[in-house]
Amino acid sequence: MIDLHTHSTASDGTLTPTELVKLAKDIGLDAIALTDHDTLAGLDEAEEAGRACGIEVIRGCELSLESPRGAGWLHMVALWVPRQAEELQAAFDWVIEGRRIRNHEIVAKLRSLGVNITYEAVAARAGGTIGRPHFAQEMLALGVVSSLDEAFKVWLGDRGRAYVPKRKLKPADALAILGRAGATSILAHPFILGLDLPGTETLVRELQAQGLDGIEVYYSEHDDAATRAYKAMAERLGLLASGGSDFHGAVKPRIQLGRGKGGLHVSTALLDAMKAHRRERGLPV
């Protein structure tokens, strides 16, 4: 069993890369991919921990991209990101600078709404890349909200009182960068696009023409019907099937590493198929 979609303290998870890899080993996973948001910062540590623990670690990341009109969030998981990925890092630097500006704007909005929050407190809580979960944690600690869910529903979510949109790459640009880097690109949690199946397939075909390699078929929030539909779509279009929990640790307590909400099972055979696909194209595994 494997998990190809996880997060650490390098972005908005609560376990360090080392702790995450050790947990993966402890629960019996064969391999894990660290896919933090818009950063490569935790990958060297995760790889080192994998060598020490005796578990395969795949270098990855997750990109938040511009969505087409009418769609929800469009995220891309990249796997087998090389150690030298200057173009991808430059793109992340652009995104992160936009995020820094956005985070200050969120603080300003919250303070204008009477929330006594500071950028410094949120940054200290993050310990790395600041994301909205860190704002939610600080608001919970301040007693402004009674749960992390409330923080997002009322304040930080897309319809929240202090929501600020973030800077994102265009899908075509991101896929071109990932292709030049030799990474494998996977459309993450397609259900979150908010499209019906025909609309999702139309978008997936467009992304495939731009270089998309696969779809995250197996995911914590996918029910059996969705999993079957995305699996059939991947097979119909000749795309790789991937899967992962989207584990974040304490900020998403219902999501377990490798098991999602309890019913997730991502077979090692998917990883074998990805490796074969890469070898056919002369890419390292």
pLDDT digits (tens, 9 = 90+) for 38-51: 999 999 999 999 99
Architecture of domain 2-85+170-280: Alpha-Beta Barrel (3.20)
Q: Where exactly are the structural domains of the chain?
A: 2-85+170-280, 93-156
Q: Can you give the chain as a three-state secondary structure string?
A: CEEEEECCCCCCCCCCHHHHHHHHHHCCCCEEEECCECCCCCHHHHHHHHHHHCCEEEEEEEEEECCCCCCCCEEEEEECCCCCCHHHHHHHHHHHHHHHHHHHHHHHHHHHCCCCCCHHHHHHHHCCCCCHHHHHHHHHHHCCCCCHHHHHHHHHCCCCCCCCCCCCECHHHHHHHHHHHCCEEEECCHHHHCCCHHHHHHHHHHHHHCCCCEEEEEECCCCHHHHHHHHHHHHHHCCEEEEECCECCCCCCCCECCCECCCCCCCHHHHHHHHHHHHHCCCCC
Confidence (pTM)? 0.86
pLDDT (tens digit per residue) in 57-83? 999 999 999 998 889 899 999 999 999
Equal CATH topology for 2-85+170-280 and 93-156: no
Task: Look at the domain 93-156 and name its fold.
Answer: DNA polymerase; domain 1 (1.10.150)
Q: Tens of pLDDT along the chain (285 residues)? A: 999 999 999 998 999 999 999 999 999 999 999 999 999 999 999 999 999 999 999 999 999 999 988 898 999 999 999 999 999 999 999 998 998 999 999 999 999 999 999 999 999 988 777 889 999 999 999 999 999 999 999 999 989 999 998 889 999 999 999 999 999 999 999 999 999 999 999 999 999 999 999 999 999 999 999 999 999 999 999 999 999 999 999 989 999 999 999 999 999 999 999 999 999 999 999
Residue 70 has a pLDDT of 83
